Structures are given as structure tokens and as C-alpha cells.
Structure 1
């Protein structure tokens, strides 16, 4: 069982089930009115922590930096929704519903409370502990309304919360207060939750550009020239007789000419063609987000209010 001294390591810390699945974060710890022991912890679950479920803390264990409960994640998330009154108190009926849901014997809970405080005539219920990280809290003196006050100081370094045990007022306490000339505040505070939606930037994918080399066959026709030898014969005429008689009359002679031809060769050069880059373009889309918020409603019995049907809290 979690002790008061360990509460600093419970509030605002993760809560896991027996299989190691994170359920959510612990937000409130509720104490039993009669035993003064931590009895319930509320866990923020769901998207953005918009839901809050109650889970018994009596069989929970503090493992390093988180709380481990012997109930499955889905079971905790499916726990009945309960209403906590303005004083931060669970009624007997609401607590009974939770015990039935988790399969805890209600009579054994009452027996344990009676063993702790057999002379108490206070109606069975569970008080609440303030939100925030807190250590062990000292219990202060009771005021004239029967509500136990607290001014405890956090037991862990850096803790910011203080907690106390809240109990139901009995009829005897109310009469005593009225005889003493004091009256408790009879107003009831109605609260409701507001849904706050946030956005976070996540990586959705990656794009890259790269270049690689391919080889293509290119074909092009170009003209090439070459020389060929042709033999020309001309008869001796008066026009060429002198040239013909210029050499020896009889003897050996040799004439040679050089032939030429063109050959093709290939060379390449790198020529820039284009520049390619990646850019991003941001688009804005409207996305509908669904969540659940809890609202308190106040019903008035025995009194007919004016314009009751048009009140905004009647919806």
C-alpha cells in the first residue's frame, strides 16, 4: 500500500498496468475518511489527457519513478465516470460503484475502516488530496463545520502541494455549528472542463535528389575523305613534246605520290544543362478534433426557480 511519505513520487508521475503499458499520469490522490489512508488515484488518460479515471491505490506499488497498479490499461480507461463534489469528495454511492467495477469486496472495506476507527459515526466516503506534487501532509484541527482542515508541508524536496483529509459533515456537527452562531458556506460550485487542443510537428517522410551516370549510344553520320590513285595517259603532241624529250632517252625512272585519307575520332566534354533542387511548400488543412469534456450540472429540488427552462446550465 502507498504511504503518505511516498505521495511525492506518485502525483504527476506515470501510472503503468501490470503488463508495462502506460495508462496515464496520476493527478489526484483520494484518502479514506475513516482510515486516513490513500484509497484512490485519478489518472489522466485519452488524447491530450482529456479523460480522468479512478483506480484503487491500495494494491499499487511504487516502482522507481512510476506507479504500477494490478489492473489492465483498458480496464482503468473503462472505469465508471464519477462526480466529485465542490469539496473534492467522493460520495458513498460513487465509491461503491468503483469498488464493484474493480471487484473489491465492499464489506471488507467497511470492516477495515471500523477496525481503524470503531467509534466514528461519520458517513463513509473518501476525501481528496490537492493537485500537484506533494509529500506527507499533517492533519490540522477540525473547524466548526466538521470538515477537517490541513496545513501540511510537502515532505519531498521541491514539492509544491499540501494535502489533508476531507470528511462529510454529520447532522450533529451542523447543529453544533448553528448553536455556536456560525454557518458553513452553503454555496455549491459548478465546474466544467475546457478542451485545449495543441499541435505538434512530426516527421512525415523524407525526399531526396541524387544524380547518377548512364551511358547511351549516340549515332551521327559525318563525311570523311580519302585519296585514290588514277593513271592518266596522254599521247605525245607538239604541245608536250619538249617536256617528253627533257629526260634521258633510255633509262630507268621512278615517280611516287602520297595518298591521304580522313579518319574519325570521338571526344566528349561536360556541358551544364540544368539545375535541380528540392523545396517545400506548406499547405494548411482544417482537421476536426473530437474529445470529451465533463460538465457539472446542478439540480434544485423543492424550489421552483424563475425562468428555469431558459437557464444555460439546464442543457
Structure 2
């Protein structure tokens, strides 16, 4: 489809995608031919610094996500470039390079369909302002990552052992009494007892790596401004006014 001037003006800063839907960059500038029809667009690819790759608007489409051109990503990125933000018209050599790169046939210059009436004087040139909306990078704050120590209560259990004493009684049968000394008097027997108690030790171990990361997020931000345009009104005497 052919883009009109209003559609072209709405594309500044929009995404540019190739024929497969892969993003190439963003719209930088738009050039028109002698009739005012948009014909070329510069694309900020992010790889050329202060340069922008050129692409034809022939067969380009406006989609919900921006501008789709009828070429692959590498063809556009390797196309002739212009200075970023330039408002200079394309010269003959640049146009020839672009037509050669994209294997296009140069379009013939449009011819006038109506001659100037004798005595009409010089043409009035009607001008208007157009918004050229771009972006600039600026600091938006500082992200910091810090660590600090907190104390937490930990409740757990651990099994502990201890000795418990009980008295065993074993009757001595009459046949087993031989060899057993029978004394009447006081005597004692001792046994060493053992008991475990909980012991706490602390080990410091690494548990995770933490670092800051960032994503570039593109969002549409509205821009409101005012532009001026000229209007032309004709003051024609009634006898000379054309009747329709």
C-alpha cells in the first residue's frame, strides 16, 4: 500500500520490522518525492551509532506494532546510510545508490498536468509544520543491590541418649549355689552412667548468587504539541468567478 503524509507522520519512533516480522529498529526520518508522497525511511538499527540505514516505503505496511517493510533484516541493515536526525533532502547519488541496493527501477519524475494561466503571477507556496518526534536517553535513577544481616529464631530437635538404671533380680537355684560366696554384711556396687546433651555449632555456607540485571522495555508514550499550517483563500470578483 502507498502511505499518505498523515500515515507517514504517525510513524516517527515506531518499530520497523522486516518481512518475517523480526524487528530491525525504529523509524528515524521520512523522505517524500516531488509530489509529497513518502518514499524512503531511515531506520535506527542501534548498530551504526550516528548513522541510520535507509529503506524504501514501496510495499511497506502499517501494522499494529509499527511499520513492516518488504525486505529482510540484513538487507536493510546493509543499506546506504544517512546521518541520524538529518533533515537534508537526498541527492541524486544517494538515490541512485538506494535504487541499486534494493534492485529498484528509478521512478520517472512527475509531469505537470496543467499549465500556468497567462498573467497569473508567481505561485503561492503553502507551508505547514510537522512534528518530528524522537527520543533521547537520560538518567532515570540508580538501582542498588546491598546485603545486610538479620537474626532469625530457629526451632529444631535433636535426638539425645542417656542411661537409665534399673535393678535386675535373678534367683539362684540350689544347684547353682556352689561357688557363690554367701556373706552377710554391707556391700556396694557402682555403675558409670552416660548422658548426651545438645551441642550447637554454626557453619557459613554460600546459598545463591545475586546480581542486578535490566531489560529494555518499549512503551508508547503520547506526545501533544501544536503545529502551524497555512491556508490559502481566493478573493475572486463575482464576474470572474467560475460557475459550477
TM-score (norm 1): 0.42
Cα deviation digits, residues 96-153 of structure 1 (max 9, x gap): 21011101112xx11xx43x64579xxxxxxxxxxxxxxxxxxx933xxxxxx6224x
1:91 — aligned with what? 91
For the 8 Å contact 1:14–1:25, the answer to whether it is kept is yes
SS state of the match for residue 141, structure 1? coil
Q: How many residues align?
A: 160
**Counterparts of 1:1-315 in structure 2 under 5 Å?**
1-33=2-34, 35-47=35-47, 50-81=50-81, 88-106=88-106, 109-110=107-108, 113-114=109-110, 117=112, 141-142=124-125, 150-152=127-129, 160-161=131-132, 254-271=184-201
For the 8 Å contact 1:9–1:66, the answer to whether it is kept is no
SS state of the match for residue 54, structure 1? strand
Cα deviation digits, residues 30-88 of structure 1 (max 9, x gap): 0101x22001011112348532011001210000130000111111111123589x972
Shift of residue 265, structure 1, vs aligned partner: 2.6
Cα 1:256–1:83, aligned 2, differ >3 Å: closer, same or farther? closer
Counterpart-to-counterpart distance in 1, 2:55 and 2:206: 59
Counterpart-to-counterpart distance in 2, 1:45 and 1:63: 19
For the 8 Å contact 1:26–1:43, the answer to whether it is kept is yes
For the 8 Å contact 1:24–1:43, the answer to whether it is kept is yes
Cα 1:277–1:36, aligned 2, differ >3 Å: closer, same or farther? closer
Cα deviation digits, residues 227-256 of structure 1 (max 9, x gap): xxxxxxxxxxxxxxxxxxxxxxxxx98334
Larger radius of gyration: 1
1:185 — aligned with what? none
Counterpart-to-counterpart distance in 2, 1:39 and 1:46: 22
For the 8 Å contact 2:16–2:27, the answer to whether it is kept is yes
Which structure 2 residue ranges, 5 or more long, are not aligned? 116-122, 145-181, 211-244
For the 8 Å contact 1:28–1:41, the answer to whether it is kept is yes
Q: Is the helix fraction higher in 1 or 2?
A: 1
1:240 — aligned with what? none
For the 8 Å contact 1:80–1:98, the answer to whether it is kept is yes
Structure 1 outlier segments of 4+, above 6 Å: 200-203, 273-280
Counterpart-to-counterpart distance in 2, 1:274 and 1:15: 52
Cα deviation digits, residues 1-50 of structure 1 (max 9, x gap): 111121233111111111121111111110101x2200101111234853
